[in-house]
Amino acid sequence: ARAGQSDVANIIEKDSLTLIEKSGFAEYYDPITGAPCGGGQFTWTAAMVIEFIKQSKAVA
């Protein structure tokens, strides 16, 4: 599921969750500042969090 790149996938997941916790469910985030950009309360971002939670429970 992580294309053999577990370390990189874990970093992406952790950083994504940090951005979401700090700035909410934005459409995307500025790659330099992490500021939320685009539309607010974006559902695909919320769906990504649900998938992260499902994956972490499957591994545990």
Domain that holds residue 47: 6-59
- 33 in any annotated domain: yes
Report the candidate in 19, 25, 18, 15 with the shortest Cα–Cα distance to residue 47.
Answer: 25
- 1 in any annotated domain: no
Number of compact structural domains in the chain: 1
1-26 per-position pLDDT tens digit: 678 888 998 899 999 999 999 999 99
- 53 in any annotated domain: yes
- Confidence label for 31 from pLDDT (cuts 50, 70 and 90): very high
Residue predicted with more confidence, 32 or 60: 32
- Confidence label for 55 from pLDDT (cuts 50, 70 and 90): confident
Show the 3-state SS of 23-34: HCCCCEECCCCC
- The pTM score is 0.75
- 36 in any annotated domain: yes
